[in-house]
Structure formats: C-alpha cells, structure tokens
Amino acid sequence: MPAPDFILNLRKKVGNDLLWLPGVRGVVVDGEGRILLARRADNGQWALVSGILEPGEQPARGLVREMFEETAVVAEVEHVVSVGAVGPFTYPNGDVCEFLDIVFRCRYVSGTARINDDESLAVGWFAPTDLPELMAGHLTSIRRALAPAGTAHFEA
C-alpha cells in the first residue's frame, strides 16, 4: 500500500530513520452491535480500520475519511476511547515508525462494508463474541470502546 506523499517526501530526507506519526483507529459499531474489521494487506492480520493523518487534518475527520476509503462505510465519531504511543514498527523496506494512536468509538451511518482500496484483503462485521485473532492492542481497544462511557484511557 502506498505511503502518503508527505511521508515519501520526509523519507527522501531522513531515509529509514524513525518517524513519529499521528494515527487514528476506529471501533465502528453497527445497529446489531457488530464491529467493523479489515484484514490488512500489509501483514494479513485482522484489525480495526486505522490510518495516518495528513498534516493539519483533524483526527476525527481523518478517521471518517480513512474508514470510507478503506471499507466504503460511512461512520460518525462518538468519542475518544484512548490515546497512546504504539510501536516502533519496522516495515519490510526498513522504514521505522512509531505512532501517536488515537482510538475512537464510532457509530455506523451507511454503506455496505467491502474492500474499497488496496489496503485490505477482506472487510467484515463481527459480533464481539466471535472476533477473529486480531493485531496486538486491537482487542483491548474494542473492549474499552464497548465498556460503559467514561474517561479516555491513557498511560500516565
């Protein structure tokens, strides 16, 4: 999957060195209580839909954009679930990134879940009791998002 242009431009200057990037992740819940997941093309694992924010992009808007680009689902952000650092990750080409990860709980609005770009191998809705094996941290994000509304989680 292609990296955003601003990252490609940064990589020309810093090579594979560590980049600190803002990321968003969404726990989208439909009217039946199911969770939207995508099987990632880069590692084959099931995960919540996530993405990298463009410079100056508001996190909630960026997540709604990523959600539609990757799954054709329109979602509405309800609230922040957690904020934390994840990584570092080393990609097959040697690039190293660490992410400021903002997780949101979202409500399904419209659209039929499907593969909508080259970032996913599969997309689907799953009951919370019937989830596939997920990427590290994603099950925790789901549990926190499904808990009664409270304060956002973060490391102190």
- 15-65 pLDDT, tens digit per residue, is 999 999 999 999 999 999 999 999 998 889 999 999 999 999 999 999 999
DSSP-assigned states of every residue in 90-152: E-TTS-EEEEEEEEEEEEEEE------STTEEEEEEE-TTSPPPB-TTHHHHHHHHHSPS-PP
Q: Model confidence over 133-150: pLDDT tens digits?
A: 998 899 999 999 999 877
- Quote the pTM value: 0.92
C-alpha to C-alpha distance for 66 and 60, rounded to whole angstroms: 10
Q: Give the phi and the psi of residue 111 in degrees, each rounded to 5.
A: 100, 155
Instruction: Say if residue 156's pLDDT is above 90.
Output: no
Handedness of CA 23, 153, 77, 146 (dihedral sign): positive
Q: Are 121 and 37 in contact (CB under 8 A)?
A: no
In the prediction, which pLDDT does 78 show?
96
In the prediction, which pLDDT does 151 show?
79
Instruction: Say if residue 1's pLDDT is above 60.
Output: no
Q: Give the phi and the psi of residue 151 in degrees, each rounded to 5.
A: -85, 160
Whole-angstrom CA distances from 88 to 45, 73, 144, 155 are 18, 29, 23, 16
Q: Model confidence over 65-121: pLDDT tens digits?
A: 999 999 999 999 999 999 999 999 998 889 999 999 999 999 999 999 999 888 899
C-alpha to C-alpha distance for 74 and 91, rounded to whole angstroms: 29
In the prediction, which pLDDT does 91 show?
86
C-alpha to C-alpha distance for 143 and 27, rounded to whole angstroms: 10
- Assign 2 a pLDDT band (cuts: 50, 70, 90): low
Structure token pair of residue 29 = 């819940």
